[in-house]
Structure 1
Amino acid sequence: MSKRWGLWVLAVLGMLAGCADRDRSVIADGRLTATPGGLDLQRVAVFDGREVEVVLRNVGRARLNIDEAWVEGAAGAWRAEFTHEGPHSLVPGSECVVRVRFNPQREGDLPATLVVRSDAKQEPLVRVRLQGTGVDAWARLSPRRLDFGRIEADSTKTLSFTATNPTDIPVEVTPKLLGAQKDEFQAEPVVIPPGEAREVPVTFAPVVVGAKQVALAVSPCRGCSDVAVQVTAEALDRAVVAEPPELDFGSIPVDRDSLRVARLHNLSTEPMEVTAFALMSDEASFSHGDIGVPLVLQPGEIRSWEMRYSPGHMGEATNLASFSVNSRRHPTTDVALRGFGGASELCVSPLSRDFGPQPLGSKTSQVINVKNCGAANGGPLTIQGLDLQPLDGSTAATNPIHLVAQTLPHRLMPGEEVNLRVYFEPTQEGPARSQLVMTTDVFGEETTVLAFSGAGERHAPCQITVTPLAMNFGTVEPGRGAVLGVKVDNQAGDLCAVKNIRMNDTGGGVFSLPGGDLDGLIVYPGDSFSFMVAFAAPLTGGDFTGSVQIEQWDPGNPRVLIPLSAYSRAACLVASPRYVDFGVSRPDCSPAPREVNYLNACRAPVTVSNVFIGAGTSDGEFLLRDAPTPPITLDPGDAFTVQVDYLAQVYGMNLSPLFVESSDLPAPLLVSLVGESSKNMNKTDQFIQQDGAKVDVLFVVDNTASMVEEQPRLTSAIPAFVDAARAKGVDLHLSVTTTGIDATSNACPGGAQGGEAGRLFPVDGSRPRLLTLQTPDLASVLQQNVNVGQCASLEQGFEAVRRALSPPLVNNADDPRTPEPNDGNLGFLRDEAALVVVFVGDEDDHSPDSVDTYVRFLRARKGENQPQRMTLYAIAPTATGCPTSGGGGTRYAEAAARTGGEVISVCEPDYSPLLRTVASKAFSPQDRFPLSDQPDAGSITVSVNGVPVTTGWTYDGATNSVVFSSAPAAGAKVDIYYRRACS
């Protein structure tokens, strides 16, 4: 055998080899011999081991059996075992082998004896002396920490620790890796010769990005306890990154240039070589200085280079600066380059505002208009920062001047604008100063500073009175709406600052302020003001409570709450009209009385126990002139009429409830009374002529069950309208909505169950909802869209239009309040286009607010003095009526007359003439200018572009309009002055 330390025992006698059984001679004895003089295994490292083989030979004359072999000596240091299982029976001359292992557990000499027992008669025990020495031999490791740093994934790095063997025998060092990411490391065992030192390499080859959780346990000798070597390592997705990854030079004039700095950052702890650089496209507007490649980025180093953008053309320009990096994972690091040839222009107005002395507790606002007023090809403008900085020693928390938060960055394309609102709310006396620092990407004007100042002025605490102290809407039928008013009166000797007039509790969304929240007002001694509160009764009915708040400068009573209550349920009495608007009047010229008719629509008698005017903004302004004396019993179908006077003696807006108590209701039925008294007798209406090149047309189609005859007539007239529009060649937007607000039935087409609530039809998008003259088969698609079904129960055309053209519908592709996708009206209404609304219905409008409210809203959407216009047309019931219509369409007629539109009877068999008229008038320069009030005809004077015009126009009393025989030129400014009539 090779590497055998044992000595063979020579046989004294023996004829045959092996341990095979044979009959023993009865007159002879076997004799076992082993190595004479003993065995010395010499020096062995503690916990290591060394083996020798001892050959046992039968030198006797007879067979013998070896029973066992063992070692007597230090416990655990020696072990003996046969090399085969046995039986161990030796014939003369044969042999067996015993393996002896020396495994010292401590230092020093460890003598022992190998004892072999056999069945020899003369010498049954054979002893062999053993000698060995344990040596404390193990490698010393240095260092105890390996830091691989940060390297890019898919690369490798090798570090080593040193293993030193100070002893005179070899030592085996075995490294073991532990942890979840141990497979990304590699290390192999190594044998250290006596007195030498060796490097033990450990290789880190990451494939997964992130910090590594591993441990290195090193056994410094065979059988030794592990020694810990700390390992730190992290793998990067990319070693070399661009900071920033994109250089946006913004909008730069063509004759100028701009510099930006491109930076490469070596995130790793290893040097990284940048071998090459190139601009990847032929866009010549971008250039650079000397890059100086190849180069080496040291660990953590940031290197910068200057990039230049010199627009060679108008419009957007892009390129890619590409750095080649010695990396397997990311061989290039790119910097995107972007610029726009042609500069935006910043227009800000006003640049400063002195709010002046303002009462403590007041709230005064200033709108700051920010506009990109550059040319259409001048590029976008981005507002990047808005920093309001106090200059008077106050802090951000105590600064009385504050800015309404904006979402930044905010990008403005040429012609686009945004309004910022700044408030001054002094809470202590003395001056206040702040500046608003606006940062933009406008070339050469990156920072704009706006100055604001004001002063707090102390006044006596407020002593306002509120009328009424509580607002009761009585009963409003489900699906209907009503408005009442609150009057705020300052009867004290000092002015009063009020602010933040808004809903405190909407009652689940049923109460609202139609005019919107009021930020702040100053009420002078003896003055007052009124505001409206609306109640929209849900179709489900119910009882509702809410409250509206008014904040005042009174430390003892800073907030006044006005409780609201309302009931909604079906009523037997049907009021017509459901609210009465007396319009604007003068104290010396009160309007004519108005009538309200009440009909018992139930199948059983109803008893009316009281008719009265409830608490309003100014008690006594509305009076019952002619009303039956209760109690009254109305049989089914019976009716009675009430006349109401409006005195118009209290200036401002006046609102009161007209209540009727009946046996079927727990609370009286409400009809809202609205009037306004004005001191102003003279008025000037201003118009700016537009050219009709762009028009947005919205059809509002009645979708109630009574439209069986009328919808087919409308469908038949659509091709005539489309042909007239094509003949004019205008840029046209065409859409349809319904008069339905609340969902009614799945039988309704379009996906909204008849409750489009201003959303364009069809809500489910089964057909295009926004049509133009370029829409394929336009007439057919529009015919399908006006077939809105007959399933709703209430016509609210004006309310539908208001919702269609108000946020969130008008400015969102999807209505965030509804589950249907993409049901917003974004894109229909264009600022630069005229607006035409065509109502089609067989019954008058039943929207909750007055005609004046809706007309004012629509005018505001287009701008009364802007180069746009708004006209309302209607196919609706007229005074003559017909069996298929439901009474006169007085509200539609009033709205059409006030906006220069027209009405034809819904009873006409052919609607084509009206639709041709719509196309002819709406798509042409305006020749009819409706007045906002009734004039004394003889007081009217007209000027065009500031020049008085005495001929070429007439006053049409039927429509309350000034009509030109030849329409003023596009863009002309038309001023119509008149004295308001007493009618």
Structure 2
Amino acid sequence: MRRRWGLWVLVLGLFSGCADRERSSMADGRLAVTPAGIDFQRVAIFDGREVDVTVRNVGRARLSVDDVWVEGPDGTYVAAFTHEGPHSLLPGSECAMKVRFAPLESGALPATLVIRSDSKVEPFIRIPLNGTGVDAMARVSPRRLDFGRIEADSSKTLGVKVENPTDMPVEVATRLVGADKDEFVIEPVQLAPGETRELPLTFNPVMVGRKNVALAVTPCHGCADVPVLVTAESLEQAVVAEPGELDFGGVPVDRDKRLMARLHNLSTEPMTVSRMDLGGKDASFTHATTAFPLVLQPGEVREWETRYSPGHMGPADDVMTFQVVSKRHPTTSISLLGHGGAAELCISPMAHDFGQKPIGSKTAVNVNIKHCGSENGGPLRLTGLALQPDASGQPQFNLSPAVALPHTLQPGEELNLKVFFEPSVVGPATGALVVETNAFNAGRVQLDFKGGAEPHAPCELAINPVAVDFGTVRPRKGAVLGVKVENRGHDVCPVKNIRLRDDGGGVFRLPGGDLDGLVIYPGDWFAFQVAFTAPATGGTFLGTLQIEQADPVTPLVLVPLSAHSQGTCLIPDPYFVDFGLARRDCPAAPRQVRYLNACQDPVTISNVRVGPGTTDLEFALRSAPSPMPFELLPNEGFTVEVDYFAQVSGMNLSPLFVESSDLPHPLLVPLLGESSKKVENTDTFIQQDATKVDVLFVVDNTASMVEEQPRFIQALPAFVSTALDKQVDLHVAVTTTGITPESNACPGGAQGGEAGRFFPVDGSAPRVLTHQMPDLAARLQANAQVGQCAAVEQGFEAVRRALSEPLVNSADDPRTPQPNDGNLGFLRDEAALVVVFVGDEDDHSPDSVDTYVRSFQAKKGLYQPQRMSIYAIAPTGSACGTAGGTGLRYSEAAQRTGGEVVSVCAPDYAPLLRNVANKAFSPQDRFPLSVLPEVGSVVVRINGVPATSGWTYDSASNAVVFSPGPAPGAKVEVSYRRACQ
């Protein structure tokens, strides 16, 4: 048996393999497969695993294995013989093949291995296959890398995160593609199961420009590339100056101009600026102090205020240099240019809201353009005055009068214009006036206007009289009559452009000027005067007055004017009768007119009458000669008596005509009167405390105050010592003439634009000082250190704001970001008010001196002028090199309030400040009334309680006189009925 087995083995050895042999026809073969089933277990997607399979012929005849394949998911399994066929097996011999499992998806992936042979018994053998696909590729994030913009010759590294979320190792490959790939560096990595790693991608730019590059990441063996978009740019210079040159242009030598030096970090990386230096070539250039080093964040623009305050006439230049931490550009420079000397522009208002107006109306606002610079600044040239159209495309804003350009203003000269709003389209409207000049800091100024339009019914006007007839006026004499315009409709009526369409060769005029426009409410009216001046040559004259109304049917109303002039026999006395102000319940006393025949011949008087006027029946003949006609002999006369009833409120005018035989047109004597409905009147006063005074110092904080501010500060102890010696209950505060913020270099926290807020606005020191504070003089001197950084002196405007709401009665100004910057606690009703202006140039506030003085006096009672006084240390007629012009506005204000002005050129300001402290604020015992009262109608109340004694009415001065005066702080009310005068 052993031999036979050995022989069999030998035979098998001789015929093993898949050799091509003759097959026995006597028996059939049978195949056996090892293994009988295959489990590939877990394999990563796109990876693969192979298993060897052995096929053995266990039959008794030769077999041919013809084919092998896998039935299952496409592309997942692959089966193949290990060597080329034919695959013919003798009994006992075997053949090898391989089966590969390469999953394309995750999850269980069963299949069947099929082996086909020429066996007649079992031609097909099926072997079960099992395997599980595992998503074992790395996760790549982010899919975009943005290196931003960095300066060439620098370096920046960003990371690509690769994460293996499975329990199988993953091989991650990387490669760079693109024209600029050589400027980037990255390495491949092998990830252990569950491992997360960041692959550093480094950008080392050499060339300037945007980079064309991408990163391809192969997340596993056999996986498709995952693209990572790379964005990068290399800059020639990261930190640049914008602009590279600051040209301050012309600046007056007593002014300064500020421009912003800007550094822009163009890169997306922080850049360090280590220091900043001025070249020192011209001391006229300075800059705000900034702590260095500092870091410019990506894309940040940092500004440094740069100031040019010319210390000399003519050109100036310097260089500002910044040191930057950079290999390529360690310095960035800005050129500084300027010129000493320029014209200055003051313009007001800068914006105006006309509000809601009816269609067809015309509303005006006055625009004042003034050369407010010093004489050394040269002339101011207006080169452009243009109204920009509004959004509707309709000409709803217009300008008058027309000005020939260029127009030149010498220092101190001004130009007044009117901007009109004439709405023609319902809805909001906006417009702008653009002013172009050669002025310092005002090459192009835009004034913004807005308004709105509302519809209304067509006008229904009544014009009285329908024609104005001046009759006869003697040569070289003048006469005034009136026209009344009344709205008899039920809606508003806009009228406009009331003017002379034909002035009769210059003999007719409107004394009040042309009326641009107004709106008449239903039932209301107004009257205006028309004047005739007879030329020496006499003659007959015709003219026309026009009135435009918002009525599409009759948009233009024409009122004929006629007048005749020649020598007359009749001489009236007076030539006109003015009844003055009257009341409906108390008409004016009758007035008489005497007519004299100055000719050598008799004249016949045929009629005396009151002609058509603004309101018929307001004037009437009380008496006239009767019967008529009658003959008036030479040198004889007659008298006519006229009544004025004053029943219609407002101005009334009518002609008194006398018809005579020597005149083709009746002789005119104009009748004038004004009726007022107001009867009762009350004047209110607050009694002052002689020991209490509120003092407000208003200090010029412009650049030219270099010499004057130290003198003023040095003199303040004299003021304080005098006030304390007099035991004055003192409130004292300081503000500046600055309205608009100018520079962070200005002290006090308001950038030089206190706008009436007391200094210092930031609250770094008490702002309302009192006599009870220790070291009052030192505190006041500290608060007077207001700096020299503003541009325009607007002292009056600053005081108006300081003493008006919301500042005067609030602890905090709600309009500003600074906390607790209100002026609450300064102004006391029972205290006198003294305002002291200190400046080397006149005030440039937008409104008139009269407007401001009335506003200041109203804080203490308009009829208590001694309770409010204005002083000034300002330019006077005695000019000096440090002063600009003459302080005419300060002088006028001081004169009207009983104050005084001392020259800013004086070497010592202490005498004036002592005079302020020595001002006698004696208790008031005389209270002047605003109008004449009826006898016996005066009623006096003190603190609301009637006072029946202790006072008298002085008719000579029209004042209530107390003896003794009311107590300090008492509220005095004087009520009375207006007298018939």
Give the TM interval when normalised to the shorter protein: 0.3 to 0.5
Output the TM-score relative to the length of structure 1.
0.39
